[in-house]
């Protein structure tokens, strides 16, 4: 995921995520940042607006660069 986003020069991703899904992503070192209050969606329930900065994803997961980088 990181490699493709880097190739496409994507700096961040945005999403509206459930609290439980945010906790799961944190386990996998995908640290989304909440950028607003929890919102209620008509069909999907409660969601937090969040951003994942690609540079932070790399900092948290240096192994994403692979062996060729070192």
Whole-model pTM? 0.76
What is the per-residue pLDDT across 24-58, written as a single tens digit (0 to 9) for each? Answer: 999 999 999 999 999 998 888 999 999 999 999 98
Q: Tell me the average pLDDT across 14-19.
A: 94
Q: Tell me the average pLDDT across 6-12.
A: 92
pLDDT at residue 64 greater than cutoff 80: no
pLDDT at residue 70 greater than cutoff 50: no
pLDDT for 1 equals 75
pLDDT for 62 equals 85
CB neighbour class for 11 (10 Å; exposed up to 12, middle 13-18, buried from 19): exposed
């Amino acid at each position: 995921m990181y490699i493709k986003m880097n190739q496409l020069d994507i700096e961040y991703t945005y999403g509206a995520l459930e609290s439980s899904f945010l906790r799961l992503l944190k386990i996998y070192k995908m640290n989304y940042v909440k950028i607003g209050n929890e919102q209620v969606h008509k069909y999907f329930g409660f969601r937090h607006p969040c951003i994942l900065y690609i540079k932070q994803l790399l900092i948290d997961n240096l192994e994403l660069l692979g062996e060729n980088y070192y």
